Structure 1
Amino acid sequence: MFRSSYLVAKKLWKGALVVTLAASTLFTSSVWAEGPHDPAPFISAKGTPLGKKVLFDNTHGQTAGAADWVIDGGFSDFANAIAQAGYDVKELRKSTPIVYDDLKEYTVFVIGEANIPYKVSEQAAMIEFVKNGGSIFFIGDHYNADRNKNRWDASEVMNGYRRGAWADPAKGMSEEERNSEAMQGVASSDWLADNFGIRFRYNALGDINATNIVSPAQALGITEGVSSVAMHAGSTLAIVEPKKAKGIVYLPKTNAKWAHSVDKGVYKGGGVEEGPYVAIAKLGKGKAAFIGDSSPVEDATPKYLREENGQKKKTYDGFKEQDDAVLLINLINWLAKQENYENLQQVQGLKLDTATPLITTGPENEIPSQTIEPQKEPWAAPAAGYKWWDPSTFANGSYGK
């Protein structure tokens, strides 16, 4: 999620610009909600309403560090485009764990770079949601994009285990961190692969345009109108179970790694063997989609200040790049479409992928229980007084304070 001209500034160290959105006229309320107990932002469907609703998670560190992945902030272009396509859009905000009742009335649940691990009970609620016909869009990032310095990045959160900490999800944490409510009920598992047949890799690629696009006929129509998708420091995914998951966008052959990667960054020289940059999956009556970078989803209108220090954020117009917007709305439309098949093998004429070749030795070992922490975490010391698990320590102007 870094462009070549601002590699350092873009992800873990990006600054901020607080902007009053011109698009705010689309919202039902002009009052900006600032914490989990305030009314959540909502965008009504435009044009011809489809009677379907999309929910964006804002309960797991989506505004930590430089991130501002909310529908009235750094994800507003995406959210407004979803509304223009006929969907109601709302933010999920609460201070208690996600339960099935939070999700059941929605068609699609969007998770933008979660930085606080999901509890086992929350994972179960999401699986129940999908098996009953809901869909989830997982938006990841490169390895070590740990925005709140809690040692967990989005890829680890979504996979269900922390690299090098399989035996102890709170490895390296203080007793206060370990005993915090945020870490209660968290357990290591290969959750994403076990349920969706796919796993975020812990690689860290650089500034690349993904032009290896699977044809619409072999991508369930999702790649119609898509010839290029931007990556600005991101990851790819590994297809673990081809009957469940399939890649639809791949990187070209490349050795371009993120400048701050803590291992070799590029695992297989790009291409198909690096794993898909964008993928889909089918589980029960529902679906899932995955992308290895938040850059294509974001826009340049962050709402909040940094929770750690109150500094401004700066985000970028990734949604307007390449064919990012086309792909993302195609994904939402596919996710929102109810289809009877329960795995990809049941789709007539669809060629299944082969499993992505994994690294099973050395520092990049991808066997979940054998992964290694390449360097001491977190990547930098938190600011004095900042506690990622305690919103009372957050800076004024940040979400939750």
Structure 2
Amino acid sequence: MHRKHFLMGLALLVTACTTSPLSSETPTPQASKVILFDLSKAEDAGNADWRIDGAYSNWADSLRSLGYTVRTITSVNSSTLAGASVLVIPEPQNPFALAERDAILSAMNGGMGLFMIADHRISDRNNNGWDSPEVFNGWDGSTPTGVTSTYKWSLDSQYQFKLKFSFASSYSDPVYTATPLNTTHPIIQGSTTTSSDNVTSAGVYVGTSVDVTSGQSLMGANGKTYLAVTTYGSGRVVAWGDSSTFADNTLSTGGTSQYNNWVNLSNANLARNAVKWLAKDL
């Protein structure tokens, strides 16, 4: 054999032998998979800053480090959702129109995952009569006093996904530490090859519980579910009851916030694992 060819073959053999054996066992996210964070429903209203260049910047950066493409959308339609693997909706303050809901459901039928993140009742940050449980579930019949049929059902989570964010929560609810109710689900268990990404607890810093008609309850506290999952069409759904769980201490204005919950408990692992599961990488 020619010496050059021999050395090239030896180099290839060494490379193959030193490749991590985990690479063939663990699904690897691809850069072609797009994670969208919605910013069309005033998710940064008032003292909220649920933006990938703000209080969710650590989350966005950690997803990019896994190989995902992370973007913000400021409108919801078939064009903005095209090709997305996951849509994250963090504490929306404005209702979804029927056309927007239909675009989301259509994308989910095609395989897109949906991460719904709510907060407690009476968390109306832009003073329009809507809070996030109502935006996800649909109009509660009280405030605002009049809603047209275009917005009345909003995302309709309690009927479309059989997951309802409780209307009984309050801004005076205590802080809870949610713990697993199901230890075998991939979001809780994490990768099958390591325990460093599992979820043992997560903070509910005054949030709302989830009523599960169909699906699985994964985490809870005080006898209530705070993390639930289900499927819709070819897509997957995650519902979590608190927006501040994944917040870091940076703001999109350049300032700093009061809390850095990203580093607490298993909050960061929960955020990453939920997206990986929704993207079918876990």
Greater helix fraction, Structure 1 or Structure 2: 2
What is the CA-CA distance between 1:100 and the residue it aligns to? 1.5
Q: Match for residue 218 of structure 2? A: 248
The sequence identity of aligned pairs, in percent, is 29
Counterpart in the other structure of 2:235: 286
Q: Name the count of aligned residue pairs.
A: 244
8 A contact 1:66–1:314 mirrored in 2: no
Say if 2:176 is the partner of 1:208: yes
Secondary structure of the residue that 2:253 maps to in structure 1?
A: coil
Verify the 8 A CA contact 1:71 1:91 in the aligned structure 2: yes
The 1-side partners of 2:237 and 2:153 are apart by 21
**Aligned: 1:52 with 2:33:** yes
Shift of 1:190: 8.0
Q: Between Structure 1 and Structure 2, which shows a larger proportion of strand residues?
A: 2
Q: 1:196 to 1:327 in 2, by over 3 A?
A: same
When Rg is computed on C-alpha atoms for both structures, the one with the higher figure is: 2
Distance 1:103-1:300 versus aligned 2 partners, 3 A rule:
same
Alignment match, 1:380: none
Normalized against structure 2, the TM-score is what? 0.80
Correspondence 1:171 to 2:145: yes
Q: 1:331 aligns with which of 256, 274, 281?
A: 274
Q: What is the rounded CA distance, in whole Å, between the counterparts of 1:315 and 1:185 in structure 2?
A: 38
Deviations 1:156-207 (A, max 9, x none): 101122x343xxx7417xxxxx8xxxx7831237811221111000213321
Q: How does 1:203-282 map to 2 (within 5 A)?
A: 203-204=169-170, 205-211=173-179, 213-217=180-184, 219=185, 221-224=186-189, 225-240=198-213, 242=214, 245-251=215-221, 270-271=222-223, 274=224, 276-282=225-231
* Amino acid in structure 2 at the alignment position of 1:133: G
TM-aligned CA deviation for residue 314 of structure 1: 3.1
Q: Is the 8 A contact 1:133 1:286 kept in 2?
A: yes
Q: Deviations over 1:128-180 (max 9, x none)?
A: 1111110110110001111111110011101122x343xxx7417xxxxx8xx
CA deviation vs aligned residue, 1:198-220 (integer Å, no higher than 9, x gap): 10002133211112x13332x2x
The alignment yields a C-alpha RMSD, in angstroms, of 2.3
Q: 1:106 to 1:189 in 2, by over 3 A?
A: closer
Question: In structure 2, what is the Cα distance between the partners aligned to 1:142 and 1:104?
Answer: 31
Pairing 1:81–2:62 present: yes
Q: 1:260 corresponds to which residue?
A: none
SS in 2 for 1:290: strand
Amino acid of the structure 2 residue aligned with 1:332: V
CA deviation map 1:288-321 (0-9, x unaligned): 101100121111101139xxxxxx8835211111
The residue type equivalent to 2:205 in the other structure is: H
- 2:118 equivalent in structure 1: 140
* Closer, same or farther: CA 338–321 of 1 in aligned 2, 3 Å: closer
Relative to structure 1, the CA distance from residue 320 to residue 150 in structure 2 (aligned partners, 3 Å threshold; closer, same or farther) is: same
Q: How does 1:108-119 map to 2 (within 5 A)?
A: 108-119=86-97
- Provide closer, same or farther for how the CA distance between residues 189 and 295 of structure 1 changes in structure 2, counting only shifts above 3 A: closer
Taking the aligned partners of 2:60 and 2:94, their CA distance within structure 1 comes to 22
Counterpart of 2:85?
107
Is the 8 Å Cα contact of residues 136 and 155 (structure 2) preserved in structure 1? Answer: no
Structure 1 residue ranges, 4+ long, deviating more than 4 angstroms after superposition:
none
TM-score by length of structure 1 reads 0.57
Q: Distance in 2 between matches of 1:128 and 1:201?
A: 26
Q: What are the ranges of 5 or more consecutive residues in structure 2 without an aligned counterpart?
A: 1-27, 190-197
